[in-house]
Amino acid sequence: MVGAPSAGRTFTGRRRVRLGDCSPGGRLRLDAAARYVQDLSDDDTRDAGLAQMTWVVRRTVMDISQFPVYLDPVEMVTWCSGLGSRWAERRVDIVGASGGSIRSATLWVHLDAGTLRPVPMSAEFDSIFAPSTLARTVSSRLTLGAPPVDSGLDLVPWTSRFSDFDVMNHVNNAVALVIVEEVLANHRDLRAPMRVDVEYRSPIDRGTALRVGGAASQDRYEGWVIDDEGAACIAFRIEKLIAP
């Protein structure tokens, strides 16, 4: 989690935590926070005149020191924090009026709109967004790993809904955080301060039969979303952080 840049473009936004964004306990849910990140990122590229670019999320990391809560006004700031040959890392900080703080880093892969294959960013993109990276490069390598073979994971069916699909006709990346929220509901020991890592290994199309499972250890939960061919299309990890 790199800090705010000393040079280059930053972009800010504001919103209020509404009823549909909250858990029964009144905190901002992770899937809602992922939508905040997604919307602010889109607003930034549109404001920069690059709305025609097509992106998909490869991975997201969120560090939650404290959750914003219901009706909190939140201030958000974003910037490009690293570049690769066909992808860019975007940092987003979300700060709530009552002390909530979520820091995120998301790796977005740039796609050709027609073929949906990764392609390099344009010179115009580099001129606008590269300065804030301070020449930092990032990798698209996945780090969470596949589910262990013959692990005896207790996999349960997960049914995707019509509302889970976005304009690319794939399950939207924020939906993975809905699954993480289900895990949190059953593991009351995993609470902020915490880190959530999510890796998107392959798109989930209509009609894909999904199963979800994972394994808990001390201060950590590792989970996977398995498709109907037995491959992990999403991997995630939740872990407690040591309070500062």
Q: How far apart are CA 142 and CA 161, in angstroms?
A: 27
Closest of 29, 45, 48 to residue 94, by C-alpha: 29
Q: How far apart are CA 145 and CA 222, in angstroms?
A: 10
pTM over 0.85: yes
* Residue pLDDT, tens place only, 183-227: 999 998 999 999 999 999 999 988 999 999 999 988 999 999 999
At 147, the pLDDT band (50, 70, 90 cuts) reads confident
* Residue pLDDT, tens place only, 150-182: 656 788 999 999 999 999 888 999 999 999 999
Q: Which CATH number fits domain 11-133: 3.30.70.380, 3.90.1720.10, 3.10.129.10, 3.90.1170.20?
A: 3.10.129.10
Write down the pLDDT at residue 218: 86
Domains 11-133 and 156-240 share a fold: yes
Most confident range (mean pLDDT) of 61-65, 112-116, 212-216 is: 61-65
Q: Is the dihedral of CA 189, 74, 35, 102 positive or negative?
A: negative
Write down the mean pLDDT value for the chain. 95
The ranges assigned to domains in the chain are 11-133, 156-240
pLDDT at 138 > cutoff 80: yes
Q: How far apart are CA 198 and CA 181, in angstroms?
A: 12
CATH fold of the domain at 156-240: Thiol Ester Dehydrase; Chain A (3.10.129)
Are 101 and 91 spatial neighbours (Cβ–Cβ below 8 Å)? no
Q: How far apart are CA 165 and CA 207, in angstroms?
A: 11
Mean pLDDT of the region 38-58: 97
